[in-house]
Amino acid sequence: MRFDIFTLFPEMFAGVFDESILKRARDARLIEIFLHDIRASTTDKHHVTDDYAYAGGGMVMKPEPIFAAVESVLQSPISNPQSPIPIILLTPQGRVFDQTIARELAQHSRIALICGHYEGVDERVREHLVTDEISIGDYVLTGGEIPAMVIVDAVARLIPGVLGHPTAAANDSHASGLLEGPHYTRPADFRGWRVPEILLSGHHAQIEKWRHREALRRTFERRPDLLERVELSDEDRQFLETLKAEKQNRAT
């Protein structure tokens, strides 16, 4: 999968894409990341990329360098309806990124990410260039670079081969719609705190059942909102009822 990132600060990405899993994925050509400096697409002497907002309100990114940068890399992207390349603006006004959107983006062979800055980008970029707008959460960052890193990371790890184990991504928190339960490694006894016996038992079916219940428990305790969106079996519902009853007993 190919990621094209349009930014005023390409140096910010050094390190993040050059370590660990993303580095291995790049080395294996499972992902390709191209950084494009928006400033390089300016045509004026001072390479100006922003200007005062009409009628006041701070600085706004000018449309010409953004259009020029994107169009030089993705020739007429929107005019190819067969395989449109999503052109995504990172902005706190976008739809809020989650695992479902990560999965949706991972279906594409290529996506483009535009990092906004200052008070934002000229509205014509929104109206006539981008095909999607994404926020990584309800808070305001200094620019779209860190959100772009977040999206590349979350999407890249869904691409087959990027994680070592083929089912690793399927077992993540959020992949099933539930949070993951607890994990343990050696030693079995650390300062007197023992690993749950079931995990040492070798009974695979029972361990799977325990894991699923712990995932339900954790989701119930921390993110009950997620339970409304997942498919639950009758057994799951019964288990959740016992958790609810336990909680009520504790409260009284």
Residues that bind ligand ADE in the complex, under the rule CB under 6 A? 90-92, 116, 135-137, 139-141, 143-144, 147
Q: Least distance from C-beta 135 to ligand ADE, angstroms?
A: 4
Type of residue found at 229: R
The pair of three-digit structure tokens given for residue 94, joined into one six-digit string: 């976008």
Q: Least distance from C-beta 136 to ligand ADE, angstroms?
A: 4
Residue 221 annotated as catalytic: no
Q: Which of 10, 77, 92, 147 is catalytic?
A: 92
Closest CA to 132 of 155, 145, 114: 114
Using the minimum distance from each CB to ligand ADE, give the nearer residue, 139 or 193.
Answer: 139
Residue 4 annotated as catalytic: no
Using the minimum distance from each CB to ligand ADE, give the nearer residue, 60 or 90.
Answer: 90
Q: Least distance from C-beta 26 to ligand ADE, angstroms?
A: 23
Those residues whose C-beta lies under 8 Å from the C-beta of residue 183, and which sit 6 or more positions away, are: none
Residue 64 annotated as catalytic: no
Using the minimum distance from each CB to ligand ADE, give the nearer residue, 8 or 216.
Answer: 8
Q: How many CB atoms lie within 10 A of CB 60?
A: 20
Q: Which of 147, 157, 214, 217 is catalytic?
A: 157
User: Given the structure tokens 């977040």, which residue do they identify?
Assistant: 150
Using the minimum distance from each CB to ligand ADE, give the nearer residue, 140 or 251.
Answer: 140
On the CB side of 154, CA atoms within 13 Å amount to 19
Q: Least distance from C-beta 61 to ligand ADE, angstroms?
A: 12
Those residues whose C-beta lies under 8 Å from the C-beta of residue 113, and which sit 6 or more positions away, are: 3, 4, 5, 6, 88, 90, 144, 148, 151, 152
Using the minimum distance from each CB to ligand ADE, give the nearer residue, 14 or 140.
Answer: 140
Q: What angle do CA 85, 87, 89 make, to 5 degrees?
A: 160
Q: Least distance from C-beta 227 to ligand ADE, angstroms?
A: 26
Q: Which of 64, 132, 133, 172 is catalytic?
A: 172
Residue 157 annotated as catalytic: yes
Q: How many CB atoms lie within 10 A of CB 163?
A: 19
CA–CA dist 135, 37 (Å, integer): 21
What positions carry a catalytic annotation?
A: 92, 119, 157, 172
